[in-house]
Amino acid sequence: MSENKSVYDDFIEFRAIIVQCVALSWSDPTFKEEFNEHPIKTMKEYFGYEYPFDINFRFDREGSDKDYRWYPRGTGAWVGPNNKIKLVLPPKPPKNQMAIALSAYHVGHLFLWDED
């Protein structure tokens, strides 16, 4: 945990950085590859973010259109698997829906704990 900050504050900051990483991965293939391979190092290099947790953080896989969908008209949210402290990076939505898709991802689909 960061000095003078609560664990809650650290997780809120982590969520905000993850949303930035998702957005950048949709537009920058180099960032996406680096983030998939070395997420903690890449967050520090691109955003100056110091990962404060004593928790392993790695990618299990990238979400695909088959198992992870953005439904703006139906549910108004992402529908797909939850994360397990491993980030499931959603596929890039249509360009004209990126901002709202990113917002919905932040609000309702960034889970940190494995339920298995």
Domain boundaries, the chain: 7-108
| Helix or strand holding residue 24 (H, E) | helix 7-27
Under 8 Å CB-to-CB from 77, ≥6 apart: which residues?
71, 104, 107, 108, 109
Widest CA span in the chain: 43
**Quick one: pLDDT band at residue 34, thresholds 50, 70, 90?**
very high
Mean pLDDT, residues 66-83 taken together: 72
Q: What mean pLDDT is predicted for residues 81-98? A: 78
Structure confidence at residue 30 as a pLDDT band (50, 70, 90): very high
Statement: the pTM of the whole predicted model exceeds 0.75: no
Taking 90 as the threshold, does the pLDDT of residue 41 lie above it? yes
pLDDT band of 46, cuts 50, 70, 90: very high
- Enumerate long-range contacts of 71-74, CB under 8 Å, 24 or more apart: 72/97, 72/100, 72/101, 72/104
